[in-house]
């Protein structure tokens, strides 16, 4: 991993700064919206707009890159992000913020596609897995560091909006000034959603549910914390706890994923997440964030630690029923489904918080976790699990990744599955679907 960092440190530095800026701006808007007097419903639309733009950008950015190249796309989108961040405190109304969030979501998606293409190009077959893991660590470190910056200024002023603008502006300097060559860009032809659902219903439904869960954490955590009356320091700690949980628990869950029935693991993770949501709901009802902050912080750690690893786990589970050559092609459909869930998530959370107050945030998380657990349990009755020896490998990737990183993870799983497949087994090796499809799709 040190070798990967040595060869690609400008890229990782740029990504770190990007994630610091993105992590700070999301939490800052949640706090500033409360100061401006925006309703919970208005803030939910503002936060959902980011995921709408992100989904659009993930589908349009590849074509932009093919037309004008990586460098121009990266510089143009990063400049737009920087400009919008400065405009937020000037145009303090929900409509302007919603439009700004769409633009920022679109631009961040395009920036991630570009940066991840560079990362993939700079890695070799031997270092691609290490590069992907390091990329995930840098992403989460940037989000956590961004929460630390939230307490460095007054959210009612302008300074905290200037900081992420500067971070984003500076972020593309080490990337564009590095000696790394511009990579050729290509993506796999995606599988249709109908074909994906026929192959792995749990993979598709799980990704839809997970999109809502991730959006609630990344988009609405600061809105909830503000409504709950947390201090600025407590807000930053609560939001950061989810990212820290995601980073700490990603690898233990990945280790388990390669050693047991993945549907059972999905069921257990969802149940643990639901229990954490119930505990936080009870703490909120009993004494609020002020009286039970430590418990709510611990619940945030567990919720984040359960949600983010589920993304890679659902990818790996879907791969168990895919032909090896179709693994990369499946990434586009899975990212799209996840994006649909992410758009709806903040809006539903906002409605629940308007109806039930701050505890509505944990009602949403608990309901989705229980829904995922219930669906996983039902799917376990529909067909037998493949043997552990036949499953595809777990590769770490986060819900915030663009389709490029997800496709890279799928390609890595494809390579590892191909290496482990016994040539004498013919069609019965890892990732083959013929037998499993006959068992119930």
Give 252-300 as a DSSP string: HHHHHHTTS-HHHHHHHHHHHHHHHHHHHHHHHHHTHHHHSHHHHHHHH
For the CA atoms of 103, 62, 307, 263, what is the dihedral angle to 10 degrees? 150
Buried b (16+ CB within 10 A) or exposed e, 197-214: bebbbbbbbbbbbbbbbb
At 373-399, the pLDDT tens digits run: 999 999 998 887 777 766 777 777 778
Distance, CA of 363 to CA of 368 (rounded, Å): 9
Q: Which tokens hold the place of 166?
A: 């500067």
Q: Which tokens hold the place of 138?
A: 């840098």
Distance, CA of 258 to CA of 389 (rounded, Å): 9
Residue 72, pLDDT above cutoff 60: yes
So what's the pLDDT on residue 432? 45
At 188-243, the pLDDT tens digits run: 566 778 888 998 899 999 999 999 999 998 889 999 999 999 999 999 999 999 99
Delimit the domains of the chain by residue range: 2-420+427-438
Which of the four pLDDT bands, split at 50, 70 and 90, describes residue 2?
low
Residue 414, pLDDT above cutoff 80: no
Q: How much is the mean pLDDT over the chain? A: 83
From the number of C-beta atoms within 10 Å of its C-beta (0-12, 13-18, 19+), residue 309 rates as buried
pTM of the model: 0.85
Residue 28, pLDDT above cutoff 70: yes
So what's the pLDDT on residue 431? 45
Grouping H, G, I as helix, E, B as strand and the rest as coil, residue 123 is coil
Distance, CA of 53 to CA of 55 (rounded, Å): 5
At 428-440, the pLDDT tens digits run: 344 444 334 433 3
219, 47 contact by CB (below 8 A): yes
So what's the pLDDT on residue 179? 52
* Residue listed under structure tokens 């530095």: 13
- The CATH number assigned to the domain with range 2-420+427-438 reads 1.20.1250.20
**Listed residue (4, 23, 257) closest to 132, CA to CA:** 4
> What phi and psi values does residue 231 have, to the nearest 5 degrees?
-75, 170
């Amino acid at each position: 991993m040190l070798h990967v960092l040595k060869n690609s440190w400008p890229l990782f530095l740029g990504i770190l700064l990007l994630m610091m800026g993105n992590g700070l701006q999301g939490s800052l808007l949640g706090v500033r919206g409360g100061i401006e007097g925006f309703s919970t419903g208005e803030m939910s639309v503002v936060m959902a707009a980011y995921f709408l733009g992100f989904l659009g950008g993930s589908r349009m950015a590849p074509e932009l890159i093919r037309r004008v190249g990586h460098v121009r796309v990266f510089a143009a989108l990063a400049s737009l992000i920087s400009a919008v961040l400065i405009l937020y405190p000037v145009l303090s109304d929900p409509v302007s913020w919603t439009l700004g969030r769409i633009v920022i979501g679109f631009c961040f998606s395009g920036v991630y596609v570009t940066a991840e293409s560079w990362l993939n190009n700079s890695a070799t077959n031997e270092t691609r897995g290490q590069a992907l893991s390091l990329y995930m660590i840098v992403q989460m470190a940037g989000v956590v560091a961004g929460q630390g910056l939230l307490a460095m200024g007054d959210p009612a002023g302008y300074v905290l909006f200037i900081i992420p603008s500067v971070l984003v502006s500076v972020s593309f300097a080490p990337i564009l000034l590095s000696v790394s060559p511009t990579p050729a860009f290509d993506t796999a032809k995606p599988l249709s959603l109908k074909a994906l659902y026929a192959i792995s219903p749990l993979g598709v439904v799980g990704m839809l549910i997970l999109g809502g869960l991730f959006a609630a954490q990344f988009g609405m955590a600061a809105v909830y914390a503000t409504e709950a009356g947390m201090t600025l320091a407590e807000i930053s700690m609560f939001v950061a706890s989810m990212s820290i949980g995601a980073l700490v628990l990603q690898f233990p869950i990945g280790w388990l994923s390669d050693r047991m029935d993945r549907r059972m693991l999905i069921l257990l993770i969802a149940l643990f997440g639901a229990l954490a949501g119930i505990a936080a709901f009870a703490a909120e009802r009993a004494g609020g964030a002020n009286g039970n902050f430590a418990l709510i912080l611990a619940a945030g750690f567990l919720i984040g630690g359960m949600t983010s690893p589920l993304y890679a786990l659902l990818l790996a589970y879907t791969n168990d029923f895919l032909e090896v050559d179709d693994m990369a092609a499946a990434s586009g459909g899975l990212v799209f489904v996840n994006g649909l869930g992410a758009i709806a998530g903040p809006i539903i959370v906002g409605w629940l918080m308007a109806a039930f107050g701050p505890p509505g945030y944990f009602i949403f998380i608990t309901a989705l976790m229980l829904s995922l657990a219930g669906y996983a349990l039902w799917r376990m009755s529909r067909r037998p699990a493949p043997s552990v020896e036949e499953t595809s490998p777990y590769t770490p990737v986060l819900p915030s990744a663009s389709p490029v990183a997800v496709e890279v993870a799928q390609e890595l799983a494809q390579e590892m599955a191909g290496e482990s497949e016994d040539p004498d087994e013919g069609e019965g090796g890892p990732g083959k679907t013929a037998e499993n499809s006959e068992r119930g799709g």
